[in-house]
Amino acid sequence: MQGNSCCGASNSKIKDEKWVSLEGILEKFRGKKGALIPVLQQAQDLYGYLPENVMAGIADGLDLPLSQVYGVATFYSQFHLKPRGKNIIRVCLGTACHVRGAAKILESIQKEINVEKGGTTEDLQFTLEPVACIGACGLAPVIMINDDTHGRLTPEAIPQILEQYKNN
């Protein structure tokens, strides 16, 4: 860290609680082999995603090139570089769900929350993620919202299901 605090603190910004927490995470992992992924995981838990300035702070704090931090963050699908919604909607597009109408379910969700695949609503309530398989083929077509599984869906059921998660 070349003697400076991480995360842009050297540019005279006032540190908030998250910056202080990130500095603590970096201190705990500094000098340890294989620290980058756990640091990225904890930083994402802290911020909800990995903002550019946080990745720069991690690079500085672990004395790594920013390109390496960015490369790892973009390689693994568990890391997100944009803010995500409070409610993550995963729509199964696997074979069983596909043949039972998953495309219509996805279309209904897109219409209801006005978001494209992979997008997040402006109010950060929902993020829509198509996935290859949820592993609940007997319930096809199926979606997961956070940790809740909803199966044997019809497009008409979508508005009522989503309503349960709005503003929660």
What is the DSSP secondary structure assignment for residue 152, as one 8-state letter? Answer: S
Hey, how many other C-beta atoms are within 10 angstroms of the C-beta on 107? 14
3-class DSSP string for 62-115? CCCCHHHHHHHHHHCCCCCCCCCCCEEEEEECCHHHHHCCHHHHHHHHHHHHCC
Phi, psi of 130, rounded to the nearest 5 degrees: -70, 140
Is 6 assigned to a binding site? no
Is 92 assigned to a binding site? yes
Rounded Cα distance between 151 and 90, Å, is 12
Judge contact between 1 and 61, C-beta under 8 A: yes
Q: Reduced to 3 states, what is the DSSP secondary structure of residue 16?
A: coil
Is 97 assigned to a binding site? yes
Binding-site residues for [2Fe-2S] cluster, in ranges, read: 92, 97, 133, 137
Binding-site residues, in ranges, read: 92, 97, 133, 137
